[in-house]
Amino acid sequence: MMEPSMGIKEYAAVLRKRLWLIAACVIVVTFATGIYSYFFTNPSYQAFSKIIVNKSKESKLDLNEVNLNIQLVNTYKEIVLTYTVMDRVVKKHPELGLTADQLIGKIKIGTVNDSQVMTLSTQDRSYDNAIKTVNAVTSVFKETVPTIMSVDNVEILSEAKNAYDVSPNPILNVVIAFIVALMLSVGTAFLLEYLDDTVKSEADITELLGVPTFAVVAVIMRDDLIPQDQKLNKQNLEGSPYATVNS
């Protein structure tokens, strides 16, 4: 029976009592998560490409030009994720097997503050497709910008040559599963203790009735009903190496 106000010793007693439940839950959930993460999930690969925005190839670099280029980066981020660009990617690279809407959902664009560099990235279950997709979008965007902005100020800094395994992360999954299983099993242990209203000890009786316990009736086993002298005779006979037969 769980007391309304418990101390550290009472909490520890509940945990010891339900230790088998906690251990079983943690072991099963952690083991199952590890098996699933290592053997039943497909990896996801991420590839990156970088482009830089310059005002023009002929002009000299100055602070005003850099600030203008930084402002253009935000504009170009929006242009990349348009049907004007993605439709051209679909037509030029049918081997990707993706629609314009799918490309818009797959391509992610990142920038660093006060930087003229844009990073295009995508994730795919296929290592090769991740690289091909991000490079296709990058090259088509570079070709399309002059027709939209009437400027040729985008250069590819680096194309994607490798893709990185970004998910799943089995170790992280196992750690998270361990923590979640531990929290849930501990919570379940205290819930079961709270819902358990059976009387198990003298202390439970005292708490329930509010009166002290004067006597306790012990559990009587079948052997306890046999008189003591008969028990001794039986033990002596069983332990004797000789058998006595009475006629």
pLDDT in tens, 169-220: 888 999 999 999 999 999 999 898 888 777 767 776 776 777 777 666 666 6
Computed over every residue of the chain, the mean pLDDT equals 81
Q: What's the pLDDT score for residue 246?
A: 47
- Say whether 192 sits in a helix, a strand or coil: helix
Angle at 124 between CA 119 and CA 125, to 5 degrees: 155
Which pLDDT tens digit goes with each residue over 15-52? 888 899 999 999 999 999 999 888 888 888 999 999 98
Angstrom distance (rounded) from CA 64 to CA 69:
9
Angle at 201 between CA 196 and CA 206, to 5 degrees: 95
Higher-confidence residue of 157 and 137: namely 137
Contact 126, 45 (CB under 8 A): yes
Contact 125, 19 (CB under 8 A): no
Angstrom distance (rounded) from CA 191 to CA 25:
15
Which tokens hold the place of 171? Answer: 């170790």
